[in-house]
Structure 1
């Protein structure tokens, strides 16, 4: 399995992902793991429009992502995963999918979340999920764009 990076970004696919992070990770596949987005054909079509030439893109639900990884479907690819919630990555770890690092980019300040940085807000469940990811040995950092300095999530939670 060649997961290069996993990122929490509630905007999923957007300019910074396509123009900076995909380049930084040298991704050959952008993978959006989101149960709702995987069923929204209009959203999927708009995200696919921004896909860099020569790069694959998957927009799939969590169960399909787990099955595809366990079936070694991406073994020859450099995969960059984007999901909206930290709980998605807890589920991947629960299924035995190894994650080299999790980057927290954007979590919107809505639905009772507490702002912890300019671009990241979390609720108690998300804080616990981030702590769980760290406790399993996965580095979790906050970094908006690749040129920003990485900051360990522990500084904020």
Structure 2
């Protein structure tokens, strides 16, 4: 029981055209939950995300601890959701707390100082790599696809190619 998680996606753009239309429709979701401690504190970004939602789909922006808290709440039983994250560290936190995730889709992780590009859309730092290694060690699939119709690429293969 609990929330019906249809997709866990890391994409620092969060809700944009592909997520809002194609993924949401194809996965028949009712709600998009943005799980981010940083975004929770940014009122402008929260408002913009809620406005970007497709018709009929609710958007919630919550901190990591709240996701852990509500996961097994009966009020959310069978609610079909996409969980969106900006980074793998926060995904690892919910997994450590016992939320089962079989797969993580990685869309885009933008470059900032201290990060290394491992593909044309994904930049990682040491904390990201450690989180990805933790998730990979649990057997969680880490797949890169910008759009649902793309073929899956292994994130860990890209990390190995980048010699990280």
Q: TM-score range by the shorter chain?
A: over 0.9
Give the gaps of 5 or more residues in structure 2. Answer: 160-164
Q: Give runs of ≥4 in structure 1 deviating > 4 Å.
A: none
**Aligned residue runs from structure 1 range 77-88, under 5 A:** 77-88=79-90
CA RMSD of aligned residues (A): 1.3
Matched, 1:2 2:11: no
Which one of 27, 31, 34 corresponds to residue 33 of structure 2? 31
CA drift at 1:6? 0.5
Write the distance in 2 (CA, Å) between the matches of 1:35 and 1:49. 19
Write the distance in 1 (CA, Å) between the matches of 2:5 and 2:75. 12
8 Å Cα contact 1:29-1:79 kept in structure 2? yes
TM-score, scaled relative to structure 2: 0.90
Which stretch shifts more, 19-28 or 81-90? 19-28
Aligned residue number for residue 47 of structure 2: 45
2:71 counterpart SS class = helix
Write the distance in 2 (CA, Å) between the matches of 1:118 and 1:124. 18
Write the distance in 1 (CA, Å) between the matches of 2:101 and 2:75. 16
8 Å Cα contact 1:37-1:44 kept in structure 2? yes
CA drift at 1:45? 1.2
8 Å Cα contact 2:4-2:78 kept in structure 1? yes
8 Å Cα contact 2:49-2:59 kept in structure 1? no
**Aligned residue runs from structure 1 range 83-98, under 5 A:** 83-98=85-100
Give the gaps of 5 or more residues in structure 1. Answer: none
CA drift at 1:64? 0.7
Which one of 38, 53, 72 corresponds to residue 70 of structure 1? 72
TM-score, scaled relative to structure 1: 0.94
CA drift at 1:15? 1.5
